Amino acid sequence: MITIDIKEKFFKDIKILENIKIFVNEGEFLSIIGPSGCGKTTLLNIASSLDKDFKGKVNISSSNIGFVFQDHRLIPWLTIKENLLIISKDKDINQINELLKLVGLNDILDVYPKNLSGGMSRRVSFVRAFINKPKVIFLDEPFISLDYPTATALKKDFLTLCKKFNTTVILVTHDLSEAIYLSNRILFFSKNPANQILEYENSNNQEFNLKKIDELKNQILETYPNILEGFLCKRLF
């Protein structure tokens, strides 16, 4: 479904990424974790063709992709209806209403973004990402800066949409608990130049079970205590 082969990526004279090889199956949810500034967002930009200045190649079996950023990026002078219709290929207001209701939003089509809460705005951005039934969605820390209850509810809504459309997802995040909850598989990256240092097959099965999520998180950090800082070194005792 998705093959990413980045031999190297520079920003000015600094090598950001090297020897990145990622394959993602259809319908899989992959998370990427690495230290701040290691190039996770750059990787997403390359994978989604927003950045073509690199050595290597990216193959995605569908051109129908979506992208969710760290902020909602709704156009402030357009209503929610106008924001969504401008993206929609079918211009189907019934489908738009169906998706909004699926994430718990009703009667907001004529509302402007400034009148929505942060959580509501982020839900609209998710609907926008799914509105053309994408085969692939890239997520750049979309739950960041939200309070815990709002972020948790949004994650559940997002998984509902993923299952409805059988979407393949790549998420970059700093939050290991988040990755364990949402992902089928997690890739851990090193510091610059970033490359993969650990691949983790996740047994959580996208269940919101805090006890199990904490157990898996503790197992990872007990085995690899410096993995979140980008170092792969096992605990020896």
Question: Binning pLDDT at 50, 70 and 90, where does residue 49 land?
Answer: confident
Q: How do 196-201 and 185-189 pair as beta strands?
A: antiparallel
- CATH numbers and ranges of domains, the chain: 2-174 (3.40.50.300)
Q: Is 164 helix (H, G, I), strand (E, B) or coil?
A: helix
Residues paired with 29 in a beta bridge: 169
Amino acid identity, position 109? L
Confidence (pLDDT) at 46 = 92
Amino acid identity, position 61? S
Residue the block writes with tokens 């990424």? 17
Q: Is 32 helix (H, G, I), strand (E, B) or coil?
A: strand
Tokens found for residue 146: 């939200």
Q: State yes or no: pLDDT of 202 exceeds 90.
A: yes
Contact predicate 139/68, CB 8 Å:
yes
Question: Binning pLDDT at 50, 70 and 90, where does residue 214 land?
Answer: very high
Q: Is 130 helix (H, G, I), strand (E, B) or coil?
A: helix
At 50-59, the pLDDT tens digits run 888 999 999 8
Q: State yes or no: pLDDT of 182 exceeds 90.
A: yes
Taking residues 229-236, report their average pLDDT: 76
Task: Tell me the C-alpha distance between 59 and 63, whole Å.
Answer: 10
At 123-162, the pLDDT tens digits run 999 999 999 999 999 999 988 888 888 889 889 988 988 9
